[in-house]
């Protein structure tokens, strides 16, 4: 396993997880990578680890450049196990190394592992550490998306090692964005943001502002998942997209999400969609029977209107709808206008559970809409009117 140079004397020493198809309920059809970086300087520095069971591949890549006994620093930007799982093995191979992290990172490492004998250098935002010809500047980014998250900037290389920020779950033959179709990388970056960083828009905005305050001149962003953004154009593209997504601003679109048992709720979903189309509002429709929740959430990033349809089962939300609503609530989208609708057999009221979630999220709503069994033409007209009420909010 060979390391791959991304800048002079800076190497990618990560691993590619070609078979990953799910990450905490988030569909990952293109696999993923766990990117680690090795900086060869007077004080050799290794940045981030990988999953524990993939450690051998990573350590062989490091050894293709340098022996672990020569490593001075191990930077831990984030303690989630896909980036820290093999840190204990790294520290066995390099017991002389000092771990650079922030205070939250140290506490998280101690909560995960037996850290007896490990030495630390704790850093805060704006603090720099010289490693020879280069210096590392650190930027803590708490809750983007864990309390311990931080980023490392290599000033002389104009390189930001951003950990989860700006990443994508995407395994590919190459390492760089320009080796892939740009649309593919951007779509995967959007999916990553929507399914992992969505609740932390304020923290993302703060990180972007902090980078500006620190005067970071960035020409390459090397995240810990997916492809590396190289050159001002690519860097500005992803920074601009993050600013947009973090702002919570919508594009006036509508998204209709539903499941159905005998077609009644599906017919209602079609009616809702058609009404948006008649009003000239772009709309997407997702059936949870055939789509993963993570695919649906991408459309929530810039949607103004959300309509969720449910077929009642055993006086409860249908399981796939319930799972989606729980998943969506955890991601906490902001500023939506919403309608809950659905069908039932003998007892109404279940869609009020969806309505309650809307209200907990602080969304604007219209009254929920339910119909017994199959909705007739006149009922569908009433549903259209409810959609028109929603559009007027």
Q: What residues form DSSP beta bridges with 26?
A: 23
At 231-264, the pLDDT tens digits run: 999 999 999 999 999 998 899 999 999 999 999 9
Cβ-based neighbours of 130, under 8 Å, separated by 6 or more:
43
Q: Check the CA dihedral 194-199-200-204 and report its sign.
A: positive
Question: All domains of the chain, ordered by start, with CATH?
Answer: 4-247 (3.60.15.10), 255-388 (3.40.50.360)
Q: How confident is the model at residue 271 (pLDDT cuts 50, 70, 90)?
A: very high
User: In the predicted model, what is the mean pLDDT of residues 22-32?
Assistant: 93
Mean pLDDT estimate for the chain: 96
Residue of 11, 26, 30, 145 marked catalytic: 145
pLDDT for position 123:
98
Residue of 83, 169, 225, 286 marked catalytic: 225
User: In the predicted model, what is the mean pLDDT of residues 99-127?
Assistant: 97
Residue 73 sits at φ, ψ, to 5 deg, of -130, 145
User: In the predicted model, what is the mean pLDDT of residues 299-319?
Assistant: 97
Within 10 Å of residue 24's Cβ, how many Cβ atoms? 9
Residue 332: is its pLDDT beyond 90?
yes
Q: Looking at the chain, list the stretches that DSSP marks H as alpha helix, in order from N- to C-terminal side.
A: 55-63, 81-84, 87-93, 103-112, 182-192, 201-213, 232-247, 264-278, 293-300, 319-331, 352-360, 377-392
Residue of 41, 48, 82, 302 marked catalytic: 82
pLDDT for position 214:
87
Residue 160: is its pLDDT beyond 90?
yes
Three-class SS state of 357: helix
Residue 1: is its pLDDT beyond 90?
no
pLDDT for position 213:
84
Is 112 a catalytic site residue? no
CA atoms of 239 and 221, how far apart (whole Å): 10
Instruction: Work out the percent of the chain whose per-residue pLDDT is above 90.
Output: 94
User: In the predicted model, what is the mean pLDDT of residues 69-95?
Assistant: 97
Is 9 a catalytic site residue? no
Is 173 a catalytic site residue? no
Give, for 160, the enclosing helix (H) or strand (E): strand 159-163
pLDDT for position 139:
95
Cβ-based neighbours of 79, under 8 Å, separated by 6 or more:
101, 105, 108, 109, 112, 146, 148
pLDDT for position 25:
86
CA atoms of 71 and 351, how far apart (whole Å): 58
Is 164 a catalytic site residue? yes
Q: Which residues of 180-193 are buried (b: 16+ CB within 10 A; e: fewer)?
A: beeeebbebbbbbb
User: In the predicted model, what is the mean pLDDT of residues 18-39?
Assistant: 96
Q: How confident is the model at residue 28 (pLDDT cuts 50, 70, 90)?
A: very high
Is 286 a catalytic site residue? no
User: What is the spatial order of strands in the sheet that 150-154 belongs to?
Assistant: 128-130, 135-140, 150-154, 159-163, 220-223, 229-230
At 279-299, the pLDDT tens digits run: 999 999 999 999 999 999 999
Instruction: Work out the percent of the chain whose per-residue pLDDT is above 70.
Output: 100
Residue of 11, 73, 153, 192 marked catalytic: 192
Q: How confident is the model at residue 222 (pLDDT cuts 50, 70, 90)?
A: very high
Cβ proximity of 357 and 329 under 8 Å: yes
Three-class SS state of 329: helix
Q: Which residue, 207, 125, 137, 106, is CA-closest to 165?
A: 207
At 162-203, the pLDDT tens digits run: 999 999 999 999 999 999 999 999 999 999 999 999 999 989
Residue of 5, 60, 80, 127 marked catalytic: 80
**Tokens coding 19:** 């078979």
User: In the predicted model, what is the mean pLDDT of residues 356-382?
Assistant: 97
Lowest-pLDDT range of 64-73, 98-107, 243-252, 367-376: 243-252
Residue of 164, 259, 275, 370 marked catalytic: 164
Is 30 a catalytic site residue? no
Is 80 a catalytic site residue? yes
Q: Which residue, 218, 239, 234, is CA-closest to 175?
A: 234
User: In the predicted model, what is the mean pLDDT of residues 62-91?
Assistant: 98
Q: How confident is the model at residue 135 (pLDDT cuts 50, 70, 90)?
A: very high
Length of the chain: 393
Half-sphere exposure of 106 (CA within 13 A, CB side): 14
- For 252-269, give the DSSP string: SEEEEEE--SSSHHHHHH
Residue of 17, 48, 73, 78 marked catalytic: 78
Is 302 a catalytic site residue? no
Residue 212: is its pLDDT beyond 90?
no
């Amino acid at each position: 396993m060979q390391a791959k140079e991304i800048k002079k004397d800076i190497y990618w020493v990560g691993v590619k997880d070609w078979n990953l198809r799910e990450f905490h309920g988030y569909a990952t059809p293109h696999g993923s990578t766990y990117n680690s970086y090795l900086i060869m300087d007077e004080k050799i520095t290794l940045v981030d680890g990988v999953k524990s069971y993939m450690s051998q591949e990573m350590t062989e890549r490091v050894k293709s450049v340098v022996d672990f006994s020569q490593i001075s620093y191990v930077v831990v930007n984030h303690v989630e196990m896909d980036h820290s799982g093999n840190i204990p093995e790294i520290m066995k191979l390099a017991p002389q190394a000092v771990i650079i992290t922030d205070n939250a990172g140290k506490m998280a490492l101690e909560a995960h592992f037996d850290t007896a004998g490990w030495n630390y250098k704790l850093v805060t935002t704006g603090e720099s550490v010289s490693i020879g010809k280069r210096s590392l500047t650190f930027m803590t980014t708490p809750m983007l998306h864990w309390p311990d998250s931080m980023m490392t900037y290599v000033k002389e290389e104009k390189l930001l090692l951003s950990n989860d920020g700006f990443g994508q779950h995407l395994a590919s033959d190459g390492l760089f964005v320009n080796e892939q179709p740009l649309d593919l990388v951007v779509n995967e970056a959007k999916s990553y943001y929507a399914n992992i960083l969505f609740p932390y828009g304020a923290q993302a905005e703060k990180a972007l502002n902090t980078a500006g305050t620190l005067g970071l001149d960035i020409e390459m962003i090397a995240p810990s998942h997916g492809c590396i953004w190289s050159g001002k154009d690519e860097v500005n593209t992803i920074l601009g997209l993050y600013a947009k997504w973090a702002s919570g601003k919508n594009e006036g679109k509508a998204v209709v999400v539903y499941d159905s048992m005998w077609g009644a709720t599906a017919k209602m979903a079609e009616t809702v969609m058609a009404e948006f189309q008649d009003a000239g509002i772009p709309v997407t429709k997702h059936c949870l029977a055939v789509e993963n929740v993570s695919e649906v959430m991408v459309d929530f990033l810039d949607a103004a209107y959300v309509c969720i349809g449910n077929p009642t089962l055993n006086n409860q939300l249908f399981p796939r709808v319930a799972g989606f609503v729980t998943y969506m609530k955890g991601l906490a989208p902001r500023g939506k206008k919403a309608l809950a609708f659905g069908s039932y057999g003998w007892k109404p009221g279940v869609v009020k559970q969806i309505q309650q979630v809307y209200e907990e999220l602080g969304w604007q709503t219209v009254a929920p809409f339910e119909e017994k069994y199959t909705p007739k033409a006149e009922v569908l007209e009433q549903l259209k009117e409810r959609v028109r009420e929603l559009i007027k909010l």
